[in-house]
Structure 1
């Protein structure tokens, strides 16, 4: 792309003020008091008189129902999206907290199962051969008289 050559001459235009002649004052037409005449005359500023019938004013048009540029549904959907985006950070933190809490409770349950299982194993497979904790009595020569034990 090539650059155009710079202009060789510069033209300067000076604005010329417009001279305006004030309009001539219209002659006043006397109006008689009373009901308006059936035919009405109007004097224009240049002195001409226009005569015509009176016009009844046109009824005002019915107001046009204006609709907003954007529908309310679209605005509500957009605001819902903005609110959801604002909450997403908190939802991520809440989800992370729930996952961590679930892992912690799971580890507590496993720890309790290991400890309780170990206690049961010690009870079943303990080093002692006696299962009851009562006193052991070796009876060699016992005499029983009248349902009474003499040892």
Structure 2
């Protein structure tokens, strides 16, 4: 079972070549001179063994900026503004009810004043002892009735 396999004459055995990878020694490369605010679109690096590696210059990935959380939440601000508005409305309603109560008291006092003045005027007219002011005067004499007849 563990015998070597026989090959046909048509397939000659080729010599095996084994490649051992050479260790890469990283040496600091000479700094590239880059003009301010310009980045080359393609960068090339020469390795110590003479090979050239070419690639695109990639900016380091910046983490996404986290929006600064406000000190006070929006809901708290909305509730506070609603409270201020409610207080303003309550103050206005209080003034409105006060105005209506004052107006009612004024109307009541005017009606009472008109009744007193008009009633006084009527009393003066009825009870006045001043002289005759016109109209019909009727003198009543002692009437004598005899046998169902009026003798005046």
What TM-score do the two structures reach when normalised by structure 2?
A: 0.35
Q: Determine which structure has greater relative contact order: mean sequence separation of CA pairs < 8 Å that are 6+ residues apart, divided by chain length.
A: 1
What TM-score do the two structures reach when normalised by structure 1?
A: 0.35
